[in-house]
Homo-oligomer: A and B are copies of this chain.
Amino acid sequence: MSDDKLIYFFGGEQTEGGTELKSLLGGKGSNLAEMAKIGIPVPPGFIITTEACKQFYDIGETELMKKLKPEVEAYLERLEHATGKTYGKGPNPLLLSVRSGAALSMPGMMDTVLNLGLNDETFEILIEQTGDRRFALDSYRRFIQMFGDVVMGISDKDEYGNTFDPLHKVMDEIKEKYNVELDTDLTADHMQEVVDACKQTYKTYTGEEFPQDPEEHLMRGITAVFRSWNTPRAVRYREIHEVRGLLGTAVNVQAMVYGNLGEDSGTGVAFTRDPATGENIFYGEFLMNAQGEDVVAGIRTPQPIEKLKEIMPDIYSELDEIRHKLERHYKNMQDIEFTIEKGKLHMLQTRIGERTGTAAVKIAMDMLDEGLLTEEEAILRVPASDLDQLLHPRFDEKAEKETELLAKGLPASPGAATGKVVFSADAAEKAKDRGEQVILCRIETSPEDIGGMHAAEGILTSRGGMTSHAAVVARGWGKCCVAGAGRIQIDYGKRLFRVNGKVFNEWDWISINGSTGAVYEGKIPTVEPKMTGYFARLMDLSDKHRTLGIRTNSDTPKDTESAIKFGAEGIGLTRTEHMFFEGGRIVSFRRMILVAERVKAIKDKIRDAEGDETKIKKIKEENRQTLSQYEKALDELLPLQREDFKGIFRSLEGRPCTIRLLDPPLNEFLPHDDAGKIQMADDFKVPVDDVRSTVRALEEINPMLGHRGCRLGLTYPEVSDMQVRAIIEAAVSIVKEEGIKVEPEIMIPLVGKTEELKLARERAEAVIQRIMAEHNVTEEEIPYKIGTMIEVPRAAITADQIAEEAEFFSFGTNDLTQMGCGFSRDDAGSFLPEYLRLGIYERDPFQTLDQDGIGRMVQTGTELGRKTKPDLKVGICGEHGGDPDSIKFCHRIGLDYVSCSPFRVPIARLAAAQAAIEFGTEIPKKEVTLVV
């Protein structure tokens, strides 16, 4: 390609260029050229390159257009030769379309002007040629309207400030005048009136007569396309979507063909396979005697593509051949547009077809079988996030469409759910016990609501974002959740919510779509997801190609079982605290908290008395009751936790299990409403003021940065001891009594400094050694590990030191994002949406790992850790472990595994395989000086 070549021709054998020149010819143009090149009938035309657009801005409009004009004339002549027609002249006038088309589809640019070449003269010839005056008039008025709107930017505002298109308004007025409803009902005479009125209006708004020089039309059209590249809207679109490195837009100039020249003409759109199911059938629709926009407008009902077989069997078989040719050529399902003009087929567009997740999987597997794709290509063909659709129930599509939308929240956890409205966790649990389906509606949820959230079919909150408590918990369970539906005003007191002037009482039916955020009135039938054999095959293929391990975040045997069914290779995160909320154990846990502070004070006294055994004994004597309450509470929790772990170990069938010790601040376990406090005081026979003051004492200004994680374990070591004991005793029991292998990995959370891990590890080791000795078990029998979560920035940056005490790292990227970016995910709602709008962050860093920043911390932490221990096992257990882009990043920086919620395990398997194929296993590095 020469630098000077600014125009490419396409049409039959003269075609220059093809898809390989996409960046120069744009998406649309390069595909037209490609089709022409492989012998598919395409109306000929030429493409002015994106390079020309670049020069338009580099050397200026006047200069470029001056340089371009003779070339356009030359290519126009070539086009006239190819079509045997003459542009803007009789006897056989060439009519053209002008379209923009950058390498990426981009809203905000000029779209299309059709029927260039018409003027008062050629329009008469058109009547003559087609014998159809109304057609010619209709074509002419369309041209004037498009030219006026798109090229000249004619537009106006009504008295209310609403924008309208004057050229379409005159037509509406004439329709009104003749009391005509559809455009097609206008007669030729009416249409003449429209054309005249459009010309008049054009003059009113532009101050000039509608131009009659077709060359001027063409050059103005080309200029308009170039200009549209830099409208504020287009510039902003590129900024926000970080579209960079494009030269500009190409301009496609193409001979017009008409599907509305009688009953041997027509137009249609089709997919080369069924885009909903993926079935290998020709799928599309067409209209005879119609133009493309008529199919889209939906005024006449199009016919299914098979019907064409009956009406025009030759055309159908030509089209079907083209369908196969395109698929073989592009190795992908195509979305095509065609027009039949007087019995001759013309292809107007081909592009990769959009499809559902189900279709994506089936098409990829079918094309693999058909030999069109290699395994690698087939794996890359399915967007990992699309699998989500295959794993959750959906609403019946038709029924959903017919139901009125009440409100829209955030699509916080995919799936569909229908149920009766309840406003408390308690009500949800009781209803579930009675066998009723409910949707739990809360302003926000808190850990106290866990039981009710689990019992509900779905969760709806009026406040909170994609990473609010409700959203995170729901995604963990694969339960449908719509979060932050702000227009729903919940009144707990009256047990109702208001939205759009309507009132919904408790026990009214609603439906929510967690994939779209939609909230509906009443019941909508749901469709269970279909898990096909194709899916299983794709998963097997993924496993064959991936190198990254996939684990799951799970706190229960049930979730663990479903994760394993989905292909999880172990547990990457068990949050022991979730277990504390269940049933009666919250009572024991609260008893422990209530005395823990007092125990701490007693221990301080004992410490002060160090060396003086008599005094220590006396202190213990005096506080016997408090100390025994503490022990009693821990003793109550021990067997419960042990059973929890046994259940999980059993369901893992020998797979490894990372268990995080107690993490959240103690305050999260206490009741925050007064009724709860009174109840708690009553439970423990203490004054309610004791409960209130404990709650108050544990309140924190920034709980995220407060007394939690290993800080709890180090200040209340008996709690960690109990947890470690429960883990190891459970392991002993499962190994010894049930003969199942157990690989417990005890994870110390929120470590920031080596010394924390060292102390916690030593304490845990002591407990473990004691229990293993008691039960006469060896480390070969229970190959346990002790490691840490890297979630404090300090830990990431000093990971070389921390690795000295750790047998594994698991990056907790949720908290690492909070602390690393300084974003409280509970509060970020006040500025993060604005940040996304301003393009400061391209995507919500809580959903997709912020690779440049937090990702750099993860990579640095990994590198530093492995500098100390080259074979350190490193994984990630934040929410990002289920996000395809983040998973690919984890693969690239050489992590050993990602851990995600059970329902995202298949997505992770596929994304990991894609990463291995796309990036290989080389870890990219650039060294800088970091002082250690």
Contact = CB atoms under 8 A, between A and B. Distances in A.
Interface of A: 157, 160-163, 233, 611-615, 617-618, 700-707, 709, 711, 714-715, 750, 752-753, 755-756, 759, 791-794, 797-798, 800-801, 815, 818-824, 826-828, 830-831, 834-835, 838-841, 850, 852-854, 856-857, 859-860, 863-864, 867, 893, 924-932
B924 A927 contact: no
A239 to B, nearest CB: 10
Contacts of A715: 830-831, 834
A841 B753 contact: yes
A703 B701 contact: yes
Given A759-B838, A857-B797, A863 B926 contact: no
3 shortest interchain CB distances as A-B pairs: A161-B614, A702-B824, A705-B824
A827 B157 contact: no
28 contacts: A161-B612, A161-B614, A161-B617, A162-B614, A700-B830, A701-B824, A702-B704, A705-B822, A707-B830, A711-B831, A753-B853, A755-B841, A759-B838, A792-B821, A793-B793, A793-B857, A794-B820, A794-B821, A797-B856, A819-B819, A819-B820, A856-B932, A859-B930, A863-B928, A863-B929, A867-B928, A925-B931, A930-B930
Given A701-B826, A801-B852, A924-B931, 15 more contacts: A163-B612, A701-B824, A702-B824, A704-B704, A704-B824, A707-B827, A714-B831, A714-B834, A753-B840, A759-B840, A793-B797, A860-B930, A867-B928, A893-B931, A926-B932
Given A797-B856, A928-B800, A705 B706 contact: no
Nearest to A801: B852
A761 to B, nearest CB: 13
Contacts of A759: 838, 840
A519 to B, nearest CB: 21
Nearest to A701: B826
Taking the full assembly, how many copies of this chain does it contain? Answer: 2
A164 to B, nearest CB: 11
Contacts of A857: 793-794, 797
A863 B931 contact: yes
A705 B840 contact: no
A24 to B, nearest CB: 31
A113 to B, nearest CB: 21
Contacts of A615: 161-162
Contacts of A702: 702-705, 824, 826-827
Given A161-B618, A853-B753, A927 B930 contact: yes
A822 B752 contact: yes
B706 A860 contact: no
Contact of A706 (B163, B824, B864, B924): B824
B853 A752 contact: yes
Contacts of A863: 928-931
Contacts of A932: 856, 926, 928
Contacts of A856: 797-798, 930-932
A614 B709 CA distance: 55
A612 B823 CA distance: 35
Contacts of A157: 612-614
Contacts of A798: 852-853, 856
Most buried by B among A618, A756, A823, A930: A930
Nearest to A926: B932
A305 B163 CA distance: 101
Nearest to A840: B755
A607 B835 CA distance: 15
Contacts of A618: 161
Contacts of A926: 931-932
A929 B755 CA distance: 24
A801 B822 CA distance: 18
B927 A929 contact: yes
Contacts of A928: 800, 863-864, 867, 930, 932
Nearest to A157: B614
Given A928-B932, A932-B928, A822 B794 contact: yes
Contacts of A163: 611-612
Contact of A860 (B611, B815, B931): B931
A586 to B, nearest CB: 22
Nearest to A755: B840
A237 to B, nearest CB: 13
A510 B174 CA distance: 93
Contact of A797 (B818, B838, B853): B853
Nearest to A829: B707
A710 to B, nearest CB: 10
Contacts of A925: 929, 931
A163 B613 CA distance: 9
A705 B930 contact: no
